[in-house]
Structure formats: structure tokens, C-alpha cells
A and B are shown apart, each in its own frame.
Chain A
């Protein structure tokens, strides 16, 4: 990669050729492993978990809603760390990881933001209560969207700028949460989930695991795609301009 003087004929992409074996099957393995977990989890959620006392049947949304929220945060964190690595080491691989993680964070964040109001409507009678968690998730999602917009539409030199945006976004998460909480203390706030009985947690973990595997699998696939696109770009440039 660092060799600036390529021969006239573009070589096949080195990354695709060697040293990438394990990671090329890993995403598919993740997705495969997720299938039984998710089937089991949905079965448990609908067939063998008691109905929660105070929130009723609608509480079953919890089992997929909360993992999506956690995944969204995890993806924002991964994107932030990858962006830091990208800045430090000038690594295009890390840039791909950051972009892929941000995209999955976008999807999971949208999932949280859509299922949250459905749940809220069922239990509180109102889709949006302005709870600290809701607002901070929405703000985090906005940062992710800004990152994606910058990556896709920014000028060519903006990859590093986007990385800085991702880092700030990751740093912002706890600050936003704290600030929104402070802001909400001026108004009364509604209580959310308290403690859960163990059988509910037993239903919760498989769902979380399944969704985690799906997200990681998609992340891996997307990273592979982005790297391939990079290699292709490089090959085209070498072909058209074999300096």
C-alpha cells in the first residue's frame, strides 16, 4: 500500500488476496449464528414470558427496543474510536470501520426512535414524553446523521473532519445525557423501567445477543464492501494514471 511507484499493470488488490481470510467469513458466521438466537428470543418473548404487571402486553417491545438503544450507543462508540485511530494512523481501514459503524448506528438509532414512541403510546398514552433518555438518543442520532452527511457530501478533504465529528459525537454522549437530565429537573419527569424479575432478563439476553450478532455481521459486511470499493478506486486510478 505504501509503495508509491506501482508497476504499469495494476496489481490485484492485496487486501482481498491475502491475510483477510478469517474476517471474510466472520460476518457471515455472525449472521448465521444470529438466526437461531433470534428465533429463540422471539419465541421466548411471545410464548413464555409473563406479562408485566404495570405496563401490560406492550412491555414486550422492551425486549427489542432496549438492545437497539444499547447497540446504537455501541456503534457510536465504535465509530468514535475508529475515527481516532483513523486520524492517528491515517488508516483507510479505520475510516471504513467508522463509516460502517455509523451506518449501523443510524439504523439501530432509527429503530429505537421509532419503537420508543410506539411503546410510550401504549403505556404512557403519549408517544413522546421528553424523557432524558429519549432526548439524548435523538440528539446522538442527529450527530450520526450529520456524520453520514459529511462523509457522503463533504469535500474530498473532509474525511478527517468527519473523523473529528465522530470523536466529538462519542464524547458528547454522556454530556448530552447529563445536560438533558439537568434540563428536565426543571420539569417533572416520568419514571421509566424499574427493576426486572429474573425471567424477564432471561428473555432479554438472547434477544440482545441475536441483535448484536446481526449488527456485527452487517458491520463486517459493510467494512468489507467499503474496503473493496477503496481498492477498486485505487486500481482505477492506477489504470488511468500509471505514474
Chain B
């Protein structure tokens, strides 16, 4: 309960910051529109029967691209002022940071989906199925984005503590999120085909999301706790000899 309250508190501060300049929403939303325009230019001449197999790919590619952008930006704010370390040292559950960030990214992605799905529907007639089953479409988008965000937040956070190098997120995230994205592809295709097995697919996606969230929650603290200060020059690897700040962090932890 305390965890949830703290997560909500952090989320509210994120939202307040967002409402001040709408940076995340505007950049991510604009990127979505740009991608849609590029897809239109590239694929408008496709034959109508090919639309059916192209649509799921277009949808989830967009989510993957916009997702990385969003996740990078969400943590860039912390990185610029090195506030993530301060947050980690603050007397709050570290999991709350993960939950707040994930919720924020999910929110942005869902708003982008609200642009993306109608856009696809307008451009490709096969997208009519999206309009016919709005509830299922929304659920599908939510589940797909949630799985993506579950993994993405963990790795974006991990890269946010080091200086620079967060272009690596692109390299890490795409191979790792393929299961979620493949599931989302399968389910989207089922939705477009008006397959009666759609609820089964949605349930499986939900279970997959649960697994990913659980794994990410388990790993979050271990991965982030006491990210050691960067030593200049050569980089020796001494996980056994953490520096002082790390040791303090460790001693605050209940022994496991």
C-alpha cells in the first residue's frame, strides 16, 4: 500500500512536470505523426489485400520506435540533473520509482496509440476492424504497450545512471522486446481477421505482461542499487569491492 502511495506521489510529480511544458507528449506525438506520414508515403501503393498483413507490423513498429524515444526522454530529465541517484538515495521504496516511470511512459504511449490507431484506420481500409471493435483494440494497445514498457523502463533506468551511452537502449530493447511485439503482432492480426480466438490471445498477452512486470520488479533494485560512481580512466571491474556510497546503500538493505 505504501509502495502504491509513493508511486502515485512520484507519478503526480512527473505529471506536474509534464503539464508544465508538455515536452514528452509533444515530441512523442509528433514523432508518431511523422512515422504515420512516412508509412503512408511508403505503403500507400500496396494492394488492398496486403494491408491486412502490413497493418500489425506498422502499428507495433511505431510503438517500438516511439517507446524508445519516450523512455529515453523520461529518464533524460533525471539524467541531466543527476537526480536519479538522489531519488535512489531518498527514503522511498525503489520499486515506486520503477512503477511511476513505467506508468508515465505507458500513459504517453497510450496517448500516442490514440493518434496512431485512428491514423492507420484512415490510411488503410483494412483498419476498419479497429473501429468496429474499439474495446478490444484499446485493450490490445494497452497490453502490448505495457509489456514493452515493463522491460523498457528497467533498461532505460539502468542506462540512465551512467553518463552518456544511452543510445545503447535501442540496441538492447529491440531484441529483448521481440516476444511482446510478436505476441502483439499475432493478436493484432487476429483482431483484424475478426478471429474468435482473440480473447485467448489477449489473456495470453496479459499473462506475458505479468511475467515481464514481475521479472522487471525483481531485478530493478538489484540492477540499480548503488550504481557506483564512475572512475575516470580505466574501468576495473570490482563488484566485490563497492565504494563507500554503495556500501552504505547495502547496509540499509535488509540482509538477504
Residues of A whose CB lies within 8 Å of any CB of B are 1-2, 4, 86-88, 90-92, 95, 139, 142-143, 145-146, 149-150, 153-161, 163-165, 167-169, 171-172, 175-176, 179-180, 182-183, 186, 230, 233-234, 236-237
Contact = CB atoms under 8 A, between A and B. Distances in A.
A163 B239 CA distance: 12
A162 to B, nearest CB: 9
B109 to A, nearest CB: 20
A4 B246 CA distance: 14
B236 A234 contact: yes
Given A86-B239, A146-B176, A182-B186, A160 B171 contact: no
Interface string B11-39: 00000000000000000000000000000
Interface centre among A153, A180, A182 (most CB of B within 10 A): A182
Contacts of B155: 161, 164-165
Contacts of B240: 1-2, 90-92
Given A158-B158, A176-B182, A150 B223 contact: no
B118 interface: no
Interface string B74-115: 000000000000000000000000000000000000000000
Given A139-B178, A164-B223, A146 B171 contact: yes
Nearest to B163: A155
A153 B223 CA distance: 17
B219 A167 contact: yes
Contacts of B119: none
24 contacts: A2-B240, A90-B242, A91-B239, A149-B171, A154-B159, A155-B162, A157-B158, A157-B227, A158-B162, A158-B168, A159-B239, A161-B223, A164-B154, A164-B158, A164-B222, A168-B151, A168-B176, A168-B215, A176-B178, A179-B178, A179-B183, A179-B186, A186-B189, A230-B236
Nearest to A230: B237
Interface of B: 151, 154-155, 158-159, 161-165, 168, 171-172, 174-176, 178-179, 182-183, 185-186, 189, 208, 211, 215, 219, 222-224, 227-228, 230-231, 234-242
A31 to B, nearest CB: 27
Contacts of A4: 241
A51 B236 CA distance: 54
B215 A236 contact: no
A161 B175 contact: no
A183 B234 contact: no
Contacts of A95: 237, 239
A237 B250 CA distance: 24
A227 to B, nearest CB: 10
Nearest to A167: B219
A1 B182 CA distance: 45
